[in-house]
Amino acid sequence: MTQDQRLNFLVRRFREDARDYQNIPTGETAEERRTILRSLMNIRMPGMLDQETMDIQDAYLLERNAEKGIVSPSEIETVAASLGSSHPFAPVLSIWQGDITRLAADAIVNAANSQMLGCFVPMHTCIDNCIHTYAGVQLRAECHRQMRALRRKYGADYEQPTAVPMLTGGYNLPAKHVIHVVGPIVQGSLSPALEADLASCYRNVLDLCREHELRTVAFCCISTGVFRFPNDRAAEIAVETVTRWLEQNNGQIDRVIFNVFKEEDLALYGKLLCGR
């Protein structure tokens, strides 16, 4: 089956599976069909599909991820090489600008919401939506299983607390695992408590990596964007917290990648890590 045939099959199958959207147009071009498929995946509630559809979805997504270009941590320069940094952990730290779903790290970090099921807004550009899209429906299903178990333990109203990470598989992503963490939301002015919560996000994710022997991890810019944490202070906290953790856990991790998308964040991390 060609990639175009897989796409056509999946659009048809996901449309049939979406009770309220069975009559939407399937699109005339491949790009239109990719948009429709992603949108249908985004709105789909947790759960698996029949085995044939799952197999075709996996083959399609693996090819899509290959088409985007898979990037190994070993291909990304450390700040020692890229910036000539004298930071004490310059050989361990990297800054990489691009799509985090391309990274073949042991773990990539997802900025999740407290429901931990991904973003249900079709084609939303948030990292939560992107990660769930390219991992496949298995990721939302696993998140749902873990949350259901937590609700049995803590009550039906349980939501994932800020800075408590959840580890899942990466499924069709190049990354082996996804670590989902809920960052603090800035609703008014920035406070010391919010800054402490953001530091806990980075520290707790690294603790989880150490616990599961994950040697390479890529952090997104947690809590910036729609969670309204100021980009400059968020970058400072990220670098400060990761540096302190490495001081206390030297040799426990091989590479920490600060994944950025915006030019603003690239400049901020570059200034903080230039080490001169």
Residues 82 and 40 in one domain: no
Do 187 and 263 lie in a common domain? yes
Domain count, the chain: 2
Q: Are residues 15 and 109 in the same domain?
A: no
Nearest 5°: phi and psi at 93?
-100, 145
**55 and 171 housed in the same domain:** no
Does 189 lie in the same domain as 121?
A: yes
Question: Structural domain of residue 77, as residue ranges?
Answer: 70-273
Separation of CA 57 from chain center: 20
pLDDT in single tens digits along all 276 residues of the chain: 999 999 999 999 999 998 888 788 888 899 999 999 999 999 999 999 999 999 999 999 999 999 999 999 999 999 999 999 999 999 999 999 999 999 999 999 999 999 999 999 999 999 999 999 999 999 999 999 999 999 999 999 999 999 999 999 999 999 999 999 999 999 988 999 999 999 999 999 999 999 999 999 999 999 998 888 999 999 999 999 999 999 999 899 999 999 999 999 999 999 999 854
Q: Are residues 108 and 227 in the same domain?
A: yes
Residues 123 and 60 grouped into a single domain = no
Residues 110 and 212 in one domain: yes
Tell me: do 128 and 37 sit in the same domain: no
Give the domain CATH number at 115. 3.40.220.10
What pTM does this model have? 0.96
Tokens of 89: 């952990």
What is the Cα–Cα distance from 53 to 68, expressed in whole angstroms? 22
Residue 143 in contact with residue 180, Cβ under 8 Å? Answer: yes
Match 């773990």 to its residue by tokens: 107
Residue ending a domain, among 49, 66, 83, is 66
List b or e across 130-149, with b for residues whose CB sees 16 or more CB atoms inside 10 angstroms.
bbbbbbbbbbbbbbbebbee
Task: Let me know whether 226 and 253 are in one domain.
Answer: yes
**Within 13 Å, how many C-alpha atoms sit on residue 66's CB side?**
7
Do both 33 and 83 map to the same domain? no
In the chain, where does DSSP find H-type helix? 3-17, 30-43, 51-68, 79-82, 127-135, 137-154, 192-211, 231-248, 263-273
Report the 10 Å Cβ neighbour count for 103. 26
